[in-house]
Amino acid sequence: MASANATRTTPIGDNSTEVWTWVLTSTATSGNPVMVANGDVTVQVGSTGDTFNAATIAIEGSNDNGVYTTLTDQSNAALSFTANGLKQVEQKPIYIQPVATGTPTQVTVVMTVRRPQPTRN
C-alpha cells in the first residue's frame, strides 16, 4: 500500500515553526516519516469532513527511521485516535509518522513542530 507524502508549510514571519500535513486514505494508510528532531510537537488528527471509517490513527516515532513505536502525551496516554483530537507529543524522536489501523476514508493529520529560538541580544 502507498504512503502519503507530507506537505510542509511555515507560518509567515515565524522561522521557528513548521507545519506538516498528511492525508491518510484507503489507498495510503500511513504517512512518510518526517524528521523533527529538537522541537516541541503537537498533532491534530482529523478535520472537518474527515471520515475515520472505524480506523485508528497512531502517531509513531523512531530514532533510527527503522523501528517505530507509538508515542505518548504528557499523561503517558498513547497517541492513538479514533476521532478528531489534538495532543502534544511527550517524546522527542528524530522521525515521526502517522499510521492507520483499518481503512480510513480520509483523515487529515497536521503536526506542528516549534523549534527553540536562539537567545537574542
Rounded Cα gap, residues 8 and 14, in angstroms? 14
Residue spans per domain, the chain: 3-114
pTM for the model: 0.92
Task: Render each residue's pLDDT in the chain as its tens digit; 121 residues.
Answer: 689 999 999 887 777 899 999 999 999 999 999 999 788 999 999 998 999 999 999 999 999 999 999 999 999 999 999 999 999 999 999 999 999 999 999 999 999 999 887 654 4
List C-alpha distances in Å: 36 to 71, 89, 104, 113: 14, 11, 25, 7
Which amino acid is residue 20, in one-letter code?
W
Assign domain 3-114 to its CATH superfamily: Jelly Rolls (2.60.120.10)
